[in-house]
Amino acid sequence: MKFSSSESLFANSLFASITIVITVLVIYSNVYDVPFVFDDQYQIEDNTRIRDLQNYSTLKGFLSRRSLASFSFAINYKIGKVKPFGYHLVNISIHILNGLLVYVLSLWVFKRLSLNRYQCPAKAESVAEALTSRKKEVLDTSVSKQMMALFAALFFVAHPIQTQSVTYIVQRYTSMSASFYLGAVLFYIWARSLQVNRAPKSSSQAELPEFAKSKNGMFGFKVFTCFFLFVFLGVLALLCKENAATLFGVTLLVEYFLFDRTWAGWRKKLIWLVPITCILVTVILYFFASIRGIRFENFLEDVSILTREAKTIDRFSYLCTQFSVFVQYVRLLFFPIGQNLDYMMPFKTGFFDGYTPLAFLFVVFVLVVGFWNIRKKPAVSFGIFWFFITLSIESSIFPISDAIFEHRLYLPMFGFAVAVVYSVFDLFQDRTRWAVAILSVAFLALSTGTYLRNQIWKDPVLLWADVTSKSPHNHRAFYNLGNVLKRRGKLDEALVQYEKALQLRPNFAVAHDNMGLIFMAKGNIPEAVKHTGMAVRTKPGSAIIQNNYGQLLLRQGRIEEAARHFYQAVRIKPRYAKAQNNLGIALAQQKKFEEAKEHLLSAAHLDPNNSEILNNVGQVLMLQGNIKEAARYFEAAVQKNPNFAQALTNLGFMRLKENRLDEAAQYFHRALEIAPDMGRARQGLNLAIKAKGSWGPRR
C-alpha cells in the first residue's frame, strides 16, 4: 500500500508532536484569564494549606489526600499567589504532556495488537497464513498505525469534554493523575516488550515465565528500571487522585491484549498474579487507612470514603443511576452538545425507575460489542474495556455525592479515542484518504467546540447562568451564581439567586448564610440574624457558618456569644485562618490579650500574606506594650499591602513612641492620602507636628 506525501506527513513523529502541541495552545489560548470558579475558591483561593510549602515537608503531610496535586498548587501559589494565569499555564502544559503520552501509548497499542495477530493468530490458521493476511491489511502498515495514533491523541486533547479537566483549575487532580497513570502504562508495555524481544524465536508466550529464569534473564537492568518506574508512577498517580487504583486492572488489560491471550500463559501467571493482587489490595487499603481513617473491620461500609461517599445514597441506587450516567457519557463523547459544569443528576430510587432498564441494556450492549470484537477488532475491544475499567471507581457501587461530572471522562477518553479512530480506519481500509478526511473534519469540529466552550468559562456569571438554564432543578447552580454576583457587589441580584436556591432546597444552609451576610452588609440586622441563625441550626458542623454567625454577633456587641461561635469554628477546623483571626479579635475586646495573641499568631501562620491579620497581631502586641514586635508586624502588613491605611497609621504611632518623628509623619501622610477622612491618622499627624515643632502638613 502506497501513501501520498501528505499522508506520510501525518505519520511523521515530529510532525505529530508539533501538531498536538499547537492544537492545545490554540484551542486553549482563551483560558489564561479565566477566574477561579466553583471548588477553585475552596481548594485554592481560600486554602491556607497551599500557602506554605512546609505543610508538605513531612511524610504525613505529603501522603495526605491528593497531596501531590495539592503540592503543585502550593508551588503555583508560591510563584504567583492567586493569579489564575500561572495555574492555567500549568494545567495546559499537563494537557500537552498527556496528549504526547497518548500518542506514544496509542502507537504502542496499535503496534502490539498488529504484532499479536502474527504471534498469536486469532484462529487455527498457520503463522504463514497469518503473515500473508497481515500483508494485505492496510491497518498493519507503519504509516497507518502512526496516523491512527496521531488522530487518537488529537481527539484526546481537542475533545470539548476535556475542558472541565483543563480549564477548571482544581481538576488538575484528574489531569495530573492521568499523566502519571499513562506514563506507568507506557513503562509497563516497554518492560514487557523488552522481555518478549529477549525470548528465543522458538518460544511461545506461554513459555515466557520459564525463560525469565534463563542466564540472559528477562529482568535485566532496563527491564527492572521500567518495572520500577511503572510502580513508582502508579503511586504518584494515586497521590493525585484515587481513581488511579484502576491501574492494576488496566495492567491486566494490557497484558492480555498486547502480550498474552493464551490460556496456558495465564494459567501460569495465576501462580504469581493472585498473591500480587492480594499484596496490592492490602497496600492500597493500608495507604488509605493511614490517611483517611478506614476501619478494616467495617470495610464494605467505609471503602467509599476513598471517593467521598454520599451517605444518604445506598449503593444499589447509585449503581442504577450510573447506568443512565453511562448513556449520558457516551452521548457526550459522540455529540458534545449541552455540556454542563454541574449536572446534579437526580439519583434513581431503583432499577425500574425511569429509563434505567434501557440504560442497563445499553451498557450490556457495549460490553457485548467489546467481547465480540476481541479477535476481530482487538483495538475496539481494548478501547471499550479501557473505558469501563478507568471509569469503574467513580461509576460503580461506591456512592459519590454527585452522580456525574465531565472531568471523570478525562482518562477514559483514551479508550474512546483508540476505539473510534481504529473503527474509522477499519471501515475505510482501502480508502485511507477518506478516513483521514473524516477524522480531520471531526477533529476540527471538536477543536472549535472546545474553543467556544472555553469562552463560556471566561465569565462566571455566564457559566453559572448556563448551568441554571440547563439544570433548573439545581439549587447549587443558583447559589453559585449568587456568589459570583455577591463578589461583584450586585447584592440585590445575588439575593434573588439565593432565594431561588432556597425555593428548591429550603434548608440549604450556605444560601441562608450568604443571605445573612448580605443583609448584615446592608444594615438589615433582623434579616441577617434570621438567615444566619437558620444556617447555624441547619448545619452546626460548618466552621464557615459558625464563623459568620460569630461576626454578626460581634457586630451587635455580643462579644462573649461571638467568641463561643469562633471557638466552635476553630474546633471544627483548626486551620481556618479567618476564624482564628476573629477569635483573636473577640478575645482582645475582652482584654484577654495573651490568648488573643495566640490565636492571631496562628492565623498569621496559616495566612502569612494577609495584611489585616498581621495588623491585628501588631495591635494586640501594642496593647501589651511590646512596641518593637508590634512595629515589626505593622511593617509586614504595610509590605503586603502598601495602601493599608490602618496599618500605616498604627506604624506611625509606633514611630511616635520611638521618637522617630519624621518617619511617623510620613506614615500619617501616606495614610491620609489613601483615606483622607481617617481621624486617627489626622490626630497622629498633629501629634507628630506638635512634637517636631517646625513640621508642617504637606500641601
Tens-place pLDDT, residues 411-436: 999 999 999 999 999 998 878 889 99
Res. 193: pLDDT tops 90: no
Res. 58: pLDDT tops 80: no
The CA distance from 316 to 322, in Å, is 10
Confidence at 698, pLDDT banded by 50, 70, 90: very low
Residue 379, all three cell numbers? 483495538
Res. 280: pLDDT tops 80: no
Residue 70, all three cell numbers? 495539592
Contact 611, 646 (CB under 8 A): no
Helices (H), 335-355: none
What pLDDT does residue 617 have?
92
Between 189 and 210, name the one with better pLDDT.
Answer: 189
249-271 residue pLDDT tens? 999 999 999 988 887 777 777 77
Please tell me whether residue 620 adopts helix, strand or coil conformation: helix
Res. 313: pLDDT tops 50: yes
C-alpha distances out from residue 89 to 204, 618, 684, Å: 48, 37, 47
Contact 88, 169 (CB under 8 A): yes
Closest CA to 280 of 239, 325, 247: 247
How many Å separate Cα 432 from the centre of its chain?
A: 39
∠ CA(26), CA(27), CA(30), 5° rounding?
A: 90
Res. 606: pLDDT tops 90: no
Please tell me whether residue 523 adopts helix, strand or coil conformation: coil
Please tell me whether residue 543 adopts helix, strand or coil conformation: helix
511-526 residue pLDDT tens? 999 999 999 988 898 8
Q: Which domains, from first to last, does the chain contain?
A: 5-456 (no CATH), 627-699 (1.25.40.10)
Residue 403, all three cell numbers? 452522580
What pLDDT does residue 126 have?
45
Dihedral over Cα of 652, 688, 623, 629: its sign? positive
The CA distance from 503 to 526, in Å, is 21
Between 215 and 364, name the one with better pLDDT.
Answer: 364
What pLDDT does residue 669 have?
87
Longest dimension (CA), the chain: 109
Between 52 and 200, name the one with better pLDDT.
Answer: 52
What is the DSSP code string of 3-58? --HHHHHHT-HHHHHHHHHHHHHHHTTT-TTPPP-THHIIIIIT-GGGG-GGGGSS
Between 309 and 409, name the one with better pLDDT.
Answer: 409
What's this model's pTM, rounded to 2 decimal places? 0.85
What pLDDT does residue 336 have?
94
